[in-house]
Amino acid sequence: MTRLLTIMGSGETAPTMVKPHRTVFERLEAGAPGAVPAVFLDTPFGFQENADELSAKTVAYFETSLTRTIGVAGIQRIETTSTLQREAAFARIRLARFVFAGPGSPTYALRQWAGTPVPDLLAEKLRTEGAVTFSSAAALTLGLATVPVYEVYKSGADPYWLDGLDLLSPIGLPVAVIPHYNNAEGGHHDTRFCYLGERRLAMMERLLPDGAFVLGLDEHTGVILDLEADTASVVGLGVLTLRRGGISTEIRTGETVPIDMLRAGPEVRSASSPASTSAPATVAAATQPSGPLGDASAAPSLAGDAARLGAIFDEALASRDAAQAVSAMLDLDEAIVGWSTDTLQSDAATRARALLRSMIVRLGEAAVGGLADPRSILGPVIDVALNARLEVRAAKRYDLSDVIRDGLAAAGVEVRDTPDGQVWELAPLS
């Protein structure tokens, strides 16, 4: 039997999370060969005007990046769907062995799912057989308490918790899940901890029930909880953080630990704790890490890829390296395609396409004059002319010598006679 709960901090439809998704599908396929019935729970962003477009992008991501087919549940807004539509959606969830949900509003999702079979259907998957993968806004709903992100961060509400689905307490994890844990979008103001920042998270920690703690996941990072093997495997690019009362324990990507280590919470983890299957976790007093940006300024993104490849292209043109310039353009095109199904809303794709078009124009302009060093192309021809000039000068035919020199000058090659012999250089372009 396969029972997997995967929680992702972000990047659920980005290139960074292809491998974790594939791992989950392969585990399910190993348990029951054949295509895995999969459904995308589209409720969290059901209030958005482009909800259908986001669903289509998600389906395309699984088809293109994972060669897996995933259907759409079709419950964006409970009150506007008919009884038949609702029951059909619940049936899709019930029959699926893989249920996935991602970005949007956790508050909206919880409100829509309240009083429906959805919470019980998800819990049943984890009790019996199947896989649930929740990321970003959907991940926020999994714990006993949920951060109302928009209400606190955007609308200015005093920090508070919503009741979550509490799918983790039955496996011994009385936690509040916080994705986007290392978010750095705020630049110089603190947007870590899913936009809460340290001050508000510290306030909210004190509001949690006794014994509860925070389970945080960095962006483009996930944890695969194998409920049969009772193990937790951290995947992706960052760390999983357990936090209680400002004290944090970090479990790095690549580590697989017993879920008991998560159940124990952060403060009891120490160097004497049982070893994980790889490097030991890090224990830290995390009341105020090094700064709001932390290591997240290097978080993967299309904008980051574009900046990096733009710099490579600039350097290639400066060094007249046509192959490197073309390679940077192709890599940028590949990055644009790779990130095209990411449902995170931004203008990064528009900016990246503008950069690619600029690269094409600049390479075309460079091709007019040629990217190769003109000295390497013209040098052998000029050397023949200069050798002929030496011969006519030796024959005292200075008139012919001047003809050769003047002819080269007219062609843009300046020749000078020095004590060490003839030297030449290309005249600057006017």
- Phi/psi at 22 (5° precision): -65, -40
Burial 208-239 (b: 16+ CB within 10 A, else e): beeebbbbbbbbbbbbbbbbeeebbbbbbbbb
Q: Which residues contact residue 368 at a Cβ distance below 8 angstroms, ignoring those fewer than 6 apart?
A: none
| Residue type (1 letter), 63 | E
How many other C-beta atoms are found inside a 10 Å radius of the C-beta of residue 379? 12
Per-residue pLDDT of the chain (430 residues; tens, 9 = 90+): 899 999 999 999 999 999 999 999 999 999 888 899 999 999 999 999 999 999 999 999 999 999 999 999 999 999 999 999 999 999 999 999 999 999 999 999 999 999 999 999 999 999 999 999 999 999 999 999 999 999 998 888 999 999 999 999 999 999 999 999 999 888 888 999 999 999 999 999 999 999 999 999 999 999 999 999 999 999 999 999 999 999 999 999 999 999 999 999 996 544 334 444 443 444 444 434 433 333 434 567 788 888 889 899 888 888 888 888 888 888 888 888 877 766 655 677 888 888 898 888 888 877 776 666 667 777 788 888 888 988 888 898 888 888 988 888 888 888 888 888 888 888 765 5
| Residue type (1 letter), 209 | P
- Phi/psi at 39 (5° precision): -140, 140
Overall CATH class of domain 3-296: alpha beta
For 204, the token pair is 């909210």
Give helix 83-95 / helix 118-127 axis angle, nearest 10°: 10
Whole-structure pTM value: 0.72
